[in-house]
Amino acid sequence: MSKILFADLGAQPIPNNFLSADKLRAPEVYYPLRAMLDTETRLVQLETPLPREAIFHDDYPYFSSQSTTFLKHAEMYAHEMIERFHPKNVVEVGGNDGYLLQYFKAAGISVLNYEPCTSVAAAAEAKGIPTYPGFFGSDTRVRMNDLMIANNVLAHVPDLDDFVSGFREALAPEGVATFEFPHLLNLIQQNQFDTIYHEHYSYLSLMAVTKLFMKHGLRVFDVQELSVHGGSLRVFACHMDAHHVPTQGVVDVIHHEMEFGLHEDKVYESFAEKVRATKRELLDLLIILKRERYSIVGYGAPAKGNTLLNYCGIGSDFLDFVVDTTPAKQGMYLPGSRIPVKHPAALAEARPNYVLILPWNFKDEIMGKLAHIRDWGGKFIVPIPKPEVI
């Protein structure tokens, strides 16, 4: 087994550990952030994984319901699953604030959420979603489920073997498990290096996931390509001997991955330089703008924004502040860069010349919401795949 360096983003703090004002004079811990390709399993994973309890804690500030694009995506998913598989019970692992299970519940289906972060688990409970406040794994007792969901969770699991075997144990004989995750192919092609952070232990392709599932007695029978989060896959899996008919889609996506070269090492080896080039380009742009004395504010405080800002060394010397709709992030400071996070109303007050959109995956929704910045001549900067002024 050999490993190849995929990306080296220096040392970085935990991206969702926002700082309160009283922590600003205290030291902050930075951990090495390097992603490596395992040439045998084809998994890209962090070289120094942190304990999951350090990352998914009681003050976890990411609430999935903050984006209407994402809520629509969740509602469509629920309707599609109900129509196609008619589940009587549904378990979601990492179901966050109930953004998805609420649609199954509304259709009268029995639901259960596994969510270790009490901040978001409480929001799910408040929506009437029964929530078990713990991590899911092979020791989890829940059994005979018709539909099991792990959307944007597989990448967050330090022990994939334990997690996937837990899914097999908990699934009814003809049950279906679905997994959504950002597609490694898009990460590389669209230069989404900022999605590499301590919370994401793995960066996944269909070829790697298929191998992993097979090892644990699960068979991939369908896959869909989705635009969400910069391009994701939705993988459908079942027991080896279940009756779900395999679709052509699985063959097509793996073929596409091979055409792109994900089964070889070259595309991984060349990524690190693309990352460094983007850093130089973004800094070039921001330095020019600051020399001209333009004001720049960040929109959104996503985890990926913290990778970008910390890797590029962008602090309040470039961005006056960032705004975010999440109440748990407002009044706090970004980890590492220590840029203050404000309520979105601060943006109209400050009338900045430029707004740097950190959650570029929601850029259409955000530019729609912020169309009024044009009134004072404001412009947007979208940093990924390539810094661009709009």
Residues that bind ligand JHZ (CB under 6 A): 62, 66-67, 152, 199, 229, 300-304, 324-326, 329, 359, 361-362, 365-366, 369
User: Tokens 């009338």, residue?
Assistant: 351
Residue placing its CB nearer to ligand JHZ in the complex, 142 or 226:
226
Q: How far apart, in whole angstroms, are the C-alpha atoms of residue 151 and residue 80?
A: 15
Least distance to ligand JHZ, CB of residue 279, Å = 18
Residue placing its CB nearer to ligand JHZ in the complex, 172 or 228:
228
Q: What is the largest CA-CA distance in the chain?
A: 65
Q: How far apart, in whole angstroms, are the C-alpha atoms of residue 237 and residue 223?
A: 9
Least distance to ligand JHZ, CB of residue 244, Å = 26
Bridge partners of 110, per DSSP, are 89
Please list, in sequence order, all residues whose beta carbon lies within 8 angstroms of the beta carbon of residue 129, skipping any fewer than 6 positions away: 95, 98, 101, 102, 105, 111, 113
Least distance to ligand JHZ, CB of residue 300, Å = 3
Label residue 173 exposed, middle or buried (CB < 10 Å: 0-12, 13-18, 19+): exposed
Least distance to ligand JHZ, CB of residue 120, Å = 10
Least distance to ligand JHZ, CB of residue 60, Å = 9
Strands laid side by side in the 202-203 sheet: 3-12, 31-38, 44-46, 202-203
Residue placing its CB nearer to ligand JHZ in the complex, 226 or 283:
226
Least distance to ligand JHZ, CB of residue 14, Å = 11
The upper half-sphere exposure of residue 224, i.e. CA atoms within 13 Å in the direction of its Cβ, equals 11
Residue placing its CB nearer to ligand JHZ in the complex, 233 or 303:
303
Looking at the chain, how many residues does it have?
Answer: 390
Alpha carbon of 229 to those of 183, 243, 335: distances in Å?
Answer: 9, 31, 22
Strand, coil or helix: 114: strand
Residue placing its CB nearer to ligand JHZ in the complex, 250 or 366:
366
Residue placing its CB nearer to ligand JHZ in the complex, 365 or 388:
365
Least distance to ligand JHZ, CB of residue 345, Å = 12
Least distance to ligand JHZ, CB of residue 137, Å = 18
- Please give the residue whose beta carbon sits closest to ligand JHZ in the complex: 302
Task: Name the pairing type of β-strands 131-132 and 110-114.
Answer: parallel
Residue placing its CB nearer to ligand JHZ in the complex, 87 or 231:
231
User: Tokens 């952070």, residue?
Assistant: 197
Residue pair 10/310 in contact by the 8 Å Cβ criterion: yes
Residue placing its CB nearer to ligand JHZ in the complex, 105 or 229:
229
Q: How far apart, in whole angstroms, are the C-alpha atoms of residue 168 and residue 151?
A: 16
